[in-house]
Amino acid sequence: MDFLISGQHISPIYLAALGFVVGIFGGFFGVGGSFIAGPGLFITGLPMNFVVGTDLAHIVGKSIVATRQHLVRGNVDMKLGLIMVVGTVVGTEAGAQAIQYLKQLKMVNLVVGVFFIAVLVLISAFMAWESWATITGKGKRGQRHKRKDDESAVGGFSDKVHRIKLWPMIKLAESEIKSVSLWTVLVVAVIGGLFAGFLGGGAGYVRMPLLVYVLGVPTKVAVGTDLFEVVISSSYGTISHAIKGNVDIMIALVMHTGAAVGAQIGVVLTQFFRGPRIRLAFSPLPLVGAAMVVYGLITGHQTK
Amino acid sequence: MKKKRKWDEVKAFAIELVKKRTKAQQKESEPSLKAFAVDLSIFTTLVVSYFFLVLSFLSQWLKNIFDQNKLVYAFVAWAFIAAQGVVLEIIAAAILKVVGSKVK
């Protein structure tokens, strides 16, 4: 099939299938899925600028579908999501600016790259250990959530974070957090944004663990809220990239035919898994981010 | 009077679409595999039809906007992808409601 805007010839079945896989990941884990869609589009021969913009455009539609599904299940904390958007935008811009600056200093690129790989591998290993310890009943259980299906072996850390009394304090009812400093939420969002700015995409594989372990948000609410934030941030990214001529909306619409269906399946699947099991399945995802940095360091190409 | 009743029905339907369900409601509306398959097939048909509609009638038009005015193109592109998500979800939910009430 010929796509007039980007001037490419790509199989629509391949695009719909790619969207379907990304949709399931998005609905189940609350991530944008650009770490799959990006390379998937790139191998079709689509120019990199169209890969980034078109990927963001299809994420908008898919995330709307998945967020609506999570919303009716009570898995979206709108207040938290809106606050996070502010921090994410700041962090993403800072990350993108840092990349521009670091490009001038050759060795620093390597140092920062290795640092990010170490952080991502640690997150992955920690999540795998924590969720496994929770499932098998080892380790101390935190008293974070009223939800019986979402206990954690390290719940105590988020309790300590909640005790940081830095004005203004806010209440996040949907996340079952009675009091947390606004600044803590913003710092978490900025860290997620920094990874997004550095690695490209939405970096949901960093933000979701931060929401769960640092802020103490129940896993399913973290998934839903992350998706809600993705709707806003990817909408901004889509419009920004489309103005620069980087979006082939026809490709995005074909991908979305598969992604919208996949997202519905992904959301329904969360009903059948307890929080620790979702976290265990999520744990390899930060490794994909680490692989992207390794790829960038070896080839000298930025993945974003 | 009739108009107002219709409007109230539409409003109630819209609220129902995004309203958080209680645990009991969630359990009650937990789809069986069959119901989920019906839901999914209606949604899939709508999404694919929508795509072919855009492809048949608007593909060239979108290309022209892309060439002439990127700002307009940006908002039109966003509207299309958001519409594919939001509007089709609404239509699918409405069809399901009608089908559900007919079955009952």
Q: Which of A10-19, A79-88, A234-243 has the lowest mean pLDDT?
A: A234-243
The range of the structural domain enclosing residue A55 comes to 2-299
Helix, strand or coil, per DSSP, at residue A158: helix
Which of A195-199, B18-22, B55-59 is most confident? B55-59
Contact A286, A42 (CB under 8 A): no
Q: What torsion do the CA atoms of A144, A150, A155, A161 make, to the nearest 10 degrees?
A: -60
Is the Cβ of A58 closer than 8 Å to some Cβ of chain B? yes
pLDDT, mean of residues B14-38: 64
> How much is the mean pLDDT over chain B?
75
CB contact under 8 A, A264 and B43: yes
pLDDT score recorded for residue B15: 66
For residue A266, which residues of chain B lie inside 8 Å, CB to CB?
A: none
| ipTM reported for the complex, 2 dp | 0.73
Calpha distance A131→B15 (Å, rounded): 36
Structure tokens at A300: 């000298």
Is A269 a residue whose pLDDT tops 90?
no
Contact A228, A78 (CB under 8 A): yes
Is A143 a residue whose pLDDT tops 50?
no
Structure tokens at A160: 């300590």
Residues 6 or more apart whose CB falls under 8 angstroms from that of B2 comprise none
More confident of the two residues A152 and B41: B41
Portion of chain A with pLDDT greater than 90, in percent: 5
For residue A254, which residues of chain B lie inside 8 Å, CB to CB?
A: 51
Has residue A304 been placed in a domain? Answer: no
Has residue A59 been placed in a domain? Answer: yes
Has residue A63 been placed in a domain? Answer: yes
Q: Which of A293, A302, A285 is nearest to A117 (CA)?
A: A293
Q: What torsion do the CA atoms of A256, A234, A184, A211 make, to the nearest 10 degrees?
A: 10
**Total structural domains within chain A:** 1
Residue in B18, B36, B81 nearest the CB of A256: B81
Q: Which of A65-79, B65-79, B90-104 has the lowest mean pLDDT?
A: B90-104
Is the Cβ of A247 closer than 8 Å to some Cβ of chain B? yes
Q: Which of A28, A280, A273, A274 is nearest to A131 (CA)?
A: A280
Residues 6 or more apart whose CB falls under 8 angstroms from that of A94 comprise A190, A193, A194, A197
For residue B44, which residues of chain A lie inside 8 Å, CB to CB?
A: 257, 261
Q: Tens digits of per-residue pLDDT, A25-59?
A: 877 777 777 777 877 888 788 887 788 888 888 88
CB contact under 8 A, A260 and B59: no
H-helix or E-strand containing A172? strand A169-172
Portion of chain B with pLDDT greater than 70, in percent: 66
Q: Tens digits of per-residue pLDDT, A175-208?
A: 888 889 999 999 999 998 887 777 666 677 788 8
Q: Which of A184, A190, A21, A199 is nearest to A96 (CA)?
A: A199
- pLDDT-based confidence at residue A304 (cuts at 50, 70, 90): very low
Neighbours of A286 (CB within 10 A): 26
Contact A216, A161 (CB under 8 A): yes
Tell me which long-range contacts B44-53 makes (C-beta under 8 A, separation of at least 24): B44/A257, B44/A261, B46/B88, B46/B91, B46/B92, B47/A256, B47/A257, B47/A260, B47/A261, B47/B84, B47/B88, B48/A257, B50/B84, B50/B88, B51/A253, B51/A254, B51/A256, B51/A257, B51/B84
The β-bridge partners of A51 are none
- pLDDT-based confidence at residue A303 (cuts at 50, 70, 90): very low
Calpha distance A127→A121 (Å, rounded): 10
- How many A-B residue pairs are in contact by the CB < 8 A criterion? 111
Cis amide leading into A168 (omega within 30): yes
> How much is the mean pLDDT over chain A?
80
Structure tokens at A122: 């640690």
Backbone phi, psi, residue A179, to 5°:
-160, 125
Is the Cβ of A166 closer than 8 Å to some Cβ of chain B? no
Q: What's the CA angle centered on A193, arms A172 and A251, to 5 degrees?
A: 105
- pLDDT-based confidence at residue B1 (cuts at 50, 70, 90): low
More confident of the two residues A59 and A155: A59
Contact A25, A52 (CB under 8 A): no
pLDDT score recorded for residue B103: 57
Output b/e per residue, B16-33; b: 16+ Cβ within 10 A.
eeeeeeeeeeeeeeeeee
